[in-house]
Homo-oligomer: A and B are copies of this chain.
Amino acid sequence: MAISAIQKSVRPADAVVELDTKSRILDAAEELFMEHGFEATSLRLITTAAAVNLAAANYHFGSKEELFQAVLTRRLDPMNQDRMQLLTNYETAAGNKALTCEVIISAMFIPALKLARDQSQGGKNFLRLLGRAYADPAPFIREFLSHQYAEMIARYRAAFARALPHLPREEVSWRLHFVMGALSYTLAGTDALKVIAQFHPTEVNNDELLLKRLAPFLAAGLRSPMANATDAHQWFQET
Contacts and interface: CB of A to CB of B under 8 A. Distances in A.
Interface in A187-239: 188-189, 191-197, 199, 208, 210-224, 227, 231-232, 234-236, 239
A193 to B, nearest CB: 6
Contacts of A211: 235-236
A173 interface: yes
A37 to B, nearest CB: 5
Nearest to A224: B220
Contact of A142 (B134, B192, B235): B192
Looking at A39, A222, A236, the one whose CB has the most chain B CB atoms below 10 A away is A236
A137 interface: yes
Interface residues on A, range: 35 or more
Main secondary structure of the interface of A (DSSP, over half): helix
Contacts of A149: 195
B196 A236 contact: no
A16 interface: no
Interface in A88-126: 89, 102, 105-106, 109-110, 113
A178 B217 contact: yes
A36 interface: yes
A40 B138 contact: yes
B196 A153 contact: yes
A142 B137 CA distance: 17
A100 to B, nearest CB: 11
Contacts of A75: none
A159 interface: no
* In the A-B complex, the 8 residue pairs with the closest CB atoms: A220-B224, A173-B197, A39-B39, A135-B135, A181-B185, A217-B221, A221-B221, A185-B185
Interface of A: 34-37, 39-40, 86, 89, 102, 105-106, 109-110, 113, 131-132, 134-138, 142, 145-146, 149-150, 153, 157, 170-171, 173-178, 180-182, 184-186, 188-189, 191-197, 199, 208, 210-224, 227, 231-232, 234-236, 239
